[in-house]
Amino acid sequence: MSDETSNVVPAEPEPDGAPEAALTDADGNAVTPAGSETPDTADGDTSGGTESVVADAEDTDPENTDPANTGADDTDADDPDADDTDEPDRVNADIAVDDPAADDPSDTDDPSATDDPPETVDTETADVESGTVESGTVESGDVGQGDVEHGDVSAEDPADTDDHAPEDNTSDHNAPEDNASEDSAPVDSAYDDSAYDDTSALPAVAATQLDPDDDSWWKSAIFYQIYPRSFSDLNGDGVGDLAGVIDKLGYLELLGVDAIWLSPIMRSPMADHGYDVSDPRDIDPLFGDLALFDELVTEAHDRDIRVTMDLVPNHSSDQHPWFVAALASEPGSPERARYIFRDGRGEDGDEPPNNWVSVFGGPAWTRVPDPDGTPGQWYLHIFAAEQPDLNWENPEVFDDLATTLRFWLDRGVDGFRIDVAHGMAKPEDLPDMDLESVGLLENRDDDPRFNNYAVHDIHRKIRTVLDEYPGAANVGEIWVEDNERFAEYLRPDELHLGFNFRLAKAEFDPESIRAAIENSLDAVLSVGGTPTWTLSNHDVDREVTRYGRIAAAPDVDVDLGILRARAMLLVELALPGTIFIYNGAELGLPNADLADDVLQDPVWERSGHTERGRDGCRVPLPWEGFEPPFGFSTSADTWLPIPESWVRFTVEAQLEDVGSTLSLYRQAIEMRYDRPEFDGDTVEWYGAPEGCLAFRRSAGHLICALNTSDVPVPLPPGEILLTSYPLMDGQLAPNSAAWLA
């Protein structure tokens, strides 16, 4: 192990005094602090030299629970310009992985091929707050406004996009060669509606899920969310792609995750970065093609990693052939019946059918001309104008989704994350909403746009399809606060899992964290469901940024945020259920501070530049080197600029540092799998000093203690397994957590 100072873990906090209260056990009895002879760092034994760790499962000792014996994997520090970018399906693994089948490491067609290990890098510590953000040259198309009337649907040529380079695709769908729009108005589509259901692009031999005999893997799995645009770019266009994901599978195996969740990669004009799908049964050329996707599934399964995909059933793109056909048809036509078209209010129908607003800002209705050019009906879009809501009362809509589900499941996909799972059903009378109670990017339980009871029938139908594929599972994005209503989505014939965001929304204080945990467990246990836990995703600020905000300070204290995020990782992984990790969280990344002129989130445009949107948590990952793009791409012009100050967060800088955030993730994930203490579906709470909380797993009796105060506190008795930060004189340091057995 290197004896260099960690570039990620900040200096020890200075305690202001000693604690006045000691921990008590689950029965309320006082307990004595753990002895100072107990191992007191997350690093464990710091003697010995650096060892190379390989990702091969056969080489991992499942009995080894010494946090220090983690070593490091070798990182390819070769010049990224040397990569062969002419063939995006050729992958060169950056992380060295022992593969018994890889006899010739020089064979770059084999993702298991390895290069010579680089020299150890001593990275200079950088200040994230003061680092200069390079905006680069990012070309961003105008995002449609909610009040734009789609009066130019007769345009002869589809608008171009800077994101999409025309590429051959293995799909047989009649998709447009150029499928993005810089205008909110739909344009003539190259799709042929009659050919839309063509599924001849299925693989020659249908694949299966990773393990069809295991129908409960998802109950304790660790999912790793990949935002494909920002994960790894192998073809050098500045945008992440599927070849880049394949290239980093060795890294994900080393991290120890069970499954990856891919944010949308289907064909899309990218008005909302893939959440506006124009063909749900094809891969967008920006990311690759179906052949490359099939390769990803095969390679991931070979490493015992499952592949799940984002599904977007609430709405389609306005360039979907169905919507193009709807605009060309008369009111009341079968084509329009696939969406939610309504006549306007007022004498001339020039007012929207109700007062609903878009989640992204602006009105939720856009008026379109009738085929004769006169002002016509309005269509509903809960999100951007380029995302018209589908009418789930029309049986054609589910039939098409069922075809989509089977299309991907037959390629071996292991499940789906269902976007806006609580939003597909709309009330028949479309009542007005309370505009005072709802802000951007949020909804309440009484919001008529969401959580209507008819949505449960939709999920039951989806479940019948998934049940045809043993080993597949789905998780729904459910923004529902009421525990009873939340639990309804997890009944045995509906969703396997439901995203619960309470822990991600909790403040860094014991009361808020405990309430989030208790509510989350209560919400699922009433129906025998499995709880889910996450601290961040592509829609919320990264945990380091959230925890680093101090009310009186104008800037984010990134070092404080890192300390607290590390502590919350141990809290999260100590809980029963399923874990979701957002890419980059394992590196301790904060939000990036981006210049206004590079922002691309539709929220920025639709809010009239009053809300900056979600781009700050979507910046590409830093992999290696000392300057942007840090190995993410061979192009410095990445789709969002990477801050220079992120040099301290690269995988290369952290991989061989046993005190790094990346190493903490690896240790904690491995221990969660290997130790029997993590058994049990519920938790029992300990009494704890002010500013602290402690709980233990009901069956395995793992103890997790969290100190959110600014002074060290005693620990309950037990063997220390792991700490998020070194102990201070045998006590739990401020803003840190510990596991004990």
Considering 446, 468, 493, 511, which one is annotated as catalytic?
468
**Helix 455-466 crosses helix 395-409 at what angle (to 10 degrees)?**
30
Say how far apart CA 174 and CA 723 lie, in whole Å.
55
**Nearest residue to 151 via CA among 192, 174, 184, 180:** 184
Residue pair 565/545 in contact by the 8 Å Cβ criterion: no
Torsion sign across C-alpha atoms 718, 720, 721, 723: positive
Say how far apart CA 603 and CA 676 lie, in whole Å.
45
Q: Cβ atoms within 10 A of the Cβ of 229, count?
A: 27
Residue pair 266/281 in contact by the 8 Å Cβ criterion: yes
Residue 419 falls in the annotated catalytic set: yes
Tallying the residues shown for the chain, one arrives at 741
Q: Cβ atoms within 10 A of the Cβ of 636, count?
A: 14
92 DSSP assignment: -
Say how far apart CA 734 and CA 741 lie, in whole Å.
21
Measure the CA dihedral 58/64/68/71, to 10°: -10
Torsion sign across C-alpha atoms 613, 614, 615, 616: positive
Give residues with Cβ within 8 angstroms of 627, minimum separation 6.
644, 647
Considering 318, 419, 572, 601, which one is annotated as catalytic?
419
Residue pair 185/151 in contact by the 8 Å Cβ criterion: yes
Say how far apart CA 249 and CA 244 lie, in whole Å.
9
Provide the 3-class DSSP secondary structure of residue 469.
coil
Residue 729 falls in the annotated catalytic set: no
Residue pair 597/426 in contact by the 8 Å Cβ criterion: no
Place of tokens 């990773």: 210
Tokens at 703, concatenated: 């103890």
Q: Amino acid identity of 417?
A: R
Instruction: Tell me which residues are annotated as active site.
Output: 419, 468
